[in-house]
Structure 1
């Protein structure tokens, strides 16, 4: 498979629109293609916003979209449906199964509750990792941790308010404002990785299945087929992560590199000679008063 992925950002957004809608236009129940869309997204269409609508949203939520994010909202923004999901309030075997709706990308005209929750998500979930079981403590906050949660939050709030603002785009993905090229972070408590070094790079990663950027490859040794990124997509990934080694995301970078999970997303090698093949989630910095070792952690089970 070979194709030309546009380099011009605006052209690229229109390319995403055309390519995804074409992929979604093929009925998954009758298609004979190797890759098909899920039933819920069949025949979906993107819904763009006008400049005046974007201006009203900025005023309503007291935020400011970056140029790249604004262009995304004008051309793509969201789609005309949500995924229906089943869930239970408890884990009991006889728990009632309920139905919910999950937005593909946030609809800034309709998803008010979800968006307000996500705007608070980074502060709330990262601070939960500061005072909770993960005992997160950045080197810049001092060599030792205060005893009280109030003192911890005072230092944390000062750090957080210095960081570039992050604005939700999908799930727990956030666009970083006031940073060149508007990188996109996946923020899951203190476990933060770079999901894309700009919105173009992010959309390729997020929508790779919908953009049909995977191809089937046969593994003779394992006698099975598996999917892998097509050449053009992989070349863009390699190019972006090669450039990333010389980039910086102010303030956020320290938190991204706090856990080993963030290093490869930043295009950097995790500085642990004993961690060449297996990558458990390990701390980069341990304060002097920390008794437990730099051992593997399991993150708080935040709701996705």
Structure 2
């Protein structure tokens, strides 16, 4: 994310009353990426390097305990597992659904492990981990109900904290499986 866009994004957040701590250091980024086995998307990393939003529903990468952070990472997957058990969620690309719940969950977890990581951002809003050079879209993930909340981090901040009307442009980066769910399309095989 270029410096001007970062400045405008933080201006929106300041006006919305967000609080900030100093940005994450390179060492902190490396520790988080190593601990949780992902890479921050470049725009997300640029954003968090400038300042770290804290309080409210923001993920506090510096002071949240590791179990809390892990629960935030697990939320999208566990929500889909819930829908596998309770709401008959089962993409055809996963093959025939096993008849017993334990086997169905095992297959679902194996399939979900191949999906790109969603990185917690704010509440149940997630930004895709680094998967491409383009800006990462932001999703609202609540079970298998996935909604595109912004084509990129700046658009997400505008939608969540500034606009009276929700506007989403077509993302330049598609995130396998998650974009399908957001578009109301059954996720395809990888």
TM-score under structure 1 length normalisation: 0.54
TM-score under structure 2 length normalisation: 0.82
CA–CA distance in structure 2, aligned partners of residues 187 and 63 of structure 1: 18
CA–CA distance in structure 2, aligned partners of residues 255 and 175 of structure 1: 14
Work out whether residues 23 and 50 of structure 2, in 8 Å CA contact, stay in contact via their aligned partners in 1: yes
Work out whether residues 22 and 51 of structure 2, in 8 Å CA contact, stay in contact via their aligned partners in 1: yes
CA–CA distance in structure 1, aligned partners of residues 9 and 34 of structure 2: 28
Work out whether residues 58 and 121 of structure 2, in 8 Å CA contact, stay in contact via their aligned partners in 1: yes
Instruction: Supply the RMSD in Å over aligned alpha carbons.
Output: 2.7
Q: What pairs up with 1:145-294 in 2 under 5 angstroms?
A: 145-177=97-129, 178-179=131-132, 180-208=134-162, 213=163, 228-229=164-165, 237=167, 240=169, 243-244=170-171, 248-257=174-183, 262=184
Q: How many residues align?
A: 184
1:73 aligns with 2:48: yes
CA–CA distance in structure 2, aligned partners of residues 248 and 16 of structure 1: 22
Q: Deviations over 1:218-246 (max 9, x none)?
A: xxxxxxxxxx45xxxx8xx36x1xx35x8
Return the match for 1:55 from 30, 40, 51: 30
Show the counterpart of 1:100.
none
Show the counterpart of 1:107.
60
Instruction: Tell which deviates more after alignment, 166-175 or 49-58.
Output: 49-58
CA–CA distance in structure 1, aligned partners of residues 174 and 39 of structure 2: 21
Work out whether residues 13 and 76 of structure 1, in 8 Å CA contact, stay in contact via their aligned partners in 2: no
Structure 1 segments unaligned to the other structure (5+ residues): 1-7, 25-36, 83-102, 214-227, 264-283, 286-304
Higher helix share: 2
CA–CA distance in structure 1, aligned partners of residues 118 and 79 of structure 2: 14
- In our comparison, the structure showing a higher alpha carbon Rg is 1
CA–CA distance in structure 1, aligned partners of residues 42 and 58 of structure 2: 18
